[in-house]
A = this chain, B = another copy of it.
Amino acid sequence: MKILIIGGNGTIGSKVSAHFAKKHEVIIAGRTSGDVTLDMADSDSVKAMFEKVGKVDAVVCTAGDAKWANFDDLTEDDFYIGIKSKLMGQVNLVRIGKDYMNPNGSFTLSTGILADHPVLMTTSPAMVNGAIHSFVKAACLELSNIRINVVSSGLVEDAVEHYEAYFPGHNPIPMTKVVNGFVKSVEGGGTGEIIRMYDNS
């Protein structure tokens, strides 16, 4: 398979890319590094990336920003950071990328446990994650010959150092389990699935 991994050099993406590269052709897309670069928040940039990459068998997204802050401090513009990047960035990957997908290809998007079990300071990222969950369930009804799933991870092991203070009581998820979520989506047959990699919820 020819697999395009957006955010393929990130915390989760690098492990996902390394795994798939063992038996597939992997193309890494990133903001500043990778085989191709893109600005996820800009649909023209998403389109240009697909024009460069050409037809693919799978698109995996492990990228996307959203602002963490106290609800009291978030401006309307702050909410639009996540809306433009992690939310509409992923919607645009599907909306534009479906025309570059080989038959029986798949999209695998990324969210996180905040959709179901938010913590303090996450009104914006939780909102974006929940949006993607419902989007995937709706999009799978209409995508013809293309599967779509989303992997929603808990606090992943490789991010514990930076994030554990924000996730009191959350059990870290081993990276091998997180990678398996993406493998299930890309190499399995399911569609419309929210693949939850949680360990205490």
Contact = CB atoms under 8 A, between A and B. Distances in A.
Interface of A: 43, 70-72, 74, 76, 79-80, 83, 87-88, 91-92, 95, 114-123, 126-135, 137-139, 141-143
Contacts of A116: 134, 137
A188 to B, nearest CB: 21
Contacts of A117: 137
A143 B71 contact: yes
Nearest to A96: B76
Nearest to A140: B118
B130 A135 contact: yes
B43 A76 contact: yes
Given A127-B132, A130-B130, A142 B71 contact: yes
Contact of A142 (B91, B123, B135, B138): B123
B114 A95 contact: no
A50 to B, nearest CB: 15
Most buried by B among A76, A91, A120, A135: A135
